[in-house]
Amino acid sequence: MKLITTLALAATGALASVQAHAVAVDLTGWTAEGGSSSWNVQAGNDSVLQTVNGAPTVFFDPSATSSQGTALSGNIRVGAEGDDDFIGFVLGYNSGEIFSSSADFYLIDWKQGDQAGWGQGLAISHVTNGSNGNTTGTGGSYWQHTAGEVDLITRANSLGNTGYTDLIDYAFNIIFTSNLIEVSVNGTTEISITPADVAGVSSFSDGSFGFYNYSQAQVLYSAIRSTDCSQTPDAPECQTGTIPEPTTLALIAVGLLGMGAAGRKAASR
């Protein structure tokens, strides 16, 4: 019985650690750039809904010149059926880069369906020229991932050729440093790259974290959390490789606590 009680306390401690390290992100100071869009910060200020089907758009913190050394986590969900285009994130983004000929940031995009020269699935690309990307059609550099402009680095491990499903919440965690970008979906590592994987790059450029939509409406980014990995390197969000999701840790803690309570009740008879 002592073992069960110890495990229950350990799991409860792990859950408390997850909650303590991750801090809610206030999105009220963030701004939109790029194509037509409508980014609506939701109640609680840690979630945002983008409602317009338009040209590539980002929503980011213009005051953040550095986001390296942090892990960003939360949920992403497409809340409408009938479309199959791009959702995702940007890393190392600076104001004005979305359609700039001198852009230098990283794009994580997830396409739901195969269409017009680009296949479904999750991928990461290096954007160095966005000047040909301002289009709602399928001919722009963001759609085609044109070489020399939006260069594909790699597709995801298991979701590289799998589109997202509408009306489903996907938990994400993104670790971003000068030497590592790692993307996990539902607790599984999907993308892990270093500068050596990118032509002509010795370290990843810094800037803001942001959300990305292209030709996809009704996309909700919710419960956005930030973890400072320089201050809390042992936080679960800062660990590389597959880690339990916070919800999984919660279930483990509740289950073990229940087992401990049942054991104590049995022992008192």
For the stretch 213-268, pLDDT in tens is 999 999 999 999 999 999 999 999 999 985 445 444 444 444 444 544 445 444 44
Q: Amino acid letter at 255?
A: G
Q: What share of the chain is helix, strand, coil (3-state, %, to 5)?
A: 20, 35, 45
Across residues 67-83, what is the average pLDDT? 96
Q: What is the DSSP string of 26-88?
A: --TT-EEEESS--EEEPTTSS-EEE----S-EEEE-TT-S--TTEEEEEEEEE--SS---EEE
The predicted model scores a pTM of: 0.84
Per-residue pLDDT reduced to its tens digit, 14-52: 444 445 689 999 999 999 999 999 999 999 999 999 999
Q: Using the Cα atoms of residue 185, residue 188, residue 193 and residue 197 in order, give the sign of their dihedral.
A: negative
What single-letter DSSP state applies at residue 9? H
Which candidate, 190, 12, 10, 178, places its Cα nearest to that of 88?
A: 190
Alpha helices in 132-224 (DSSP H): 141-144
Place of tokens 């990118």: 198
Which candidate, 223, 186, 234, 185, places its Cα nearest to that of 21?
A: 234
pLDDT value at 2 more than 90 = no
pLDDT of residue 20: 62
Kindly compute the dihedral angle of the four CA atoms of residues 132, 153, 72, 89, in this order, to the nearest 10 degrees.
Answer: 30
pLDDT value at 4 more than 50 = no
Average pLDDT along the chain? 88
